[in-house]
Amino acid sequence: MVRHYKSKGERGQWSEDAMRAAVTAVQNGMSLKRATIQHAVPRTILRHKVRLSQLGQPLTKSLGHQTVLSAMQEAQLVSLLLDLE
């Protein structure tokens, strides 16, 4: 078995600060392609984050699918289950 696995993929290598800067650049009139090159973020994710920012949702870095429960709901469920235990 491998004890120290190193990921060989490039998924999730961008930073939140670079994504915020790219989103504000696109909102200020920069093209999507130029913003992805200048800030080193993936174009499809930048397009998605621009759409989310127009809807007023925060820019957070999350890999994978969205969860069904929010963090607050999950914490409430955990505390309820611990009380019932």
8-63: pLDDT as tens digits: 777 778 888 888 899 999 999 999 999 999 999 999 889 988 988 888 777 777 77
State the pLDDT at residue 78.
Answer: 95
State the pLDDT at residue 80.
Answer: 95
Q: Please say whether the beta carbons of 8 and 18 come within 8 A.
A: no
> What's the predicted TM-score (pTM) here?
0.62
Q: Which one has a higher pLDDT value, 81 or 4?
A: 81
Q: Which one has a higher pLDDT value, 67 or 48?
A: 48
CA angle 81, 61, 3 (to 5 degrees): 75
The two three-digit tokens of residue 51, written as one number = 């759409």
User: What domains can you pick out in the chain, each with its CATH number?
Assistant: 13-60 (1.10.10)
Q: Quick one: which of 36, 66, 40, 38 has its CA closest to 50?
A: 36
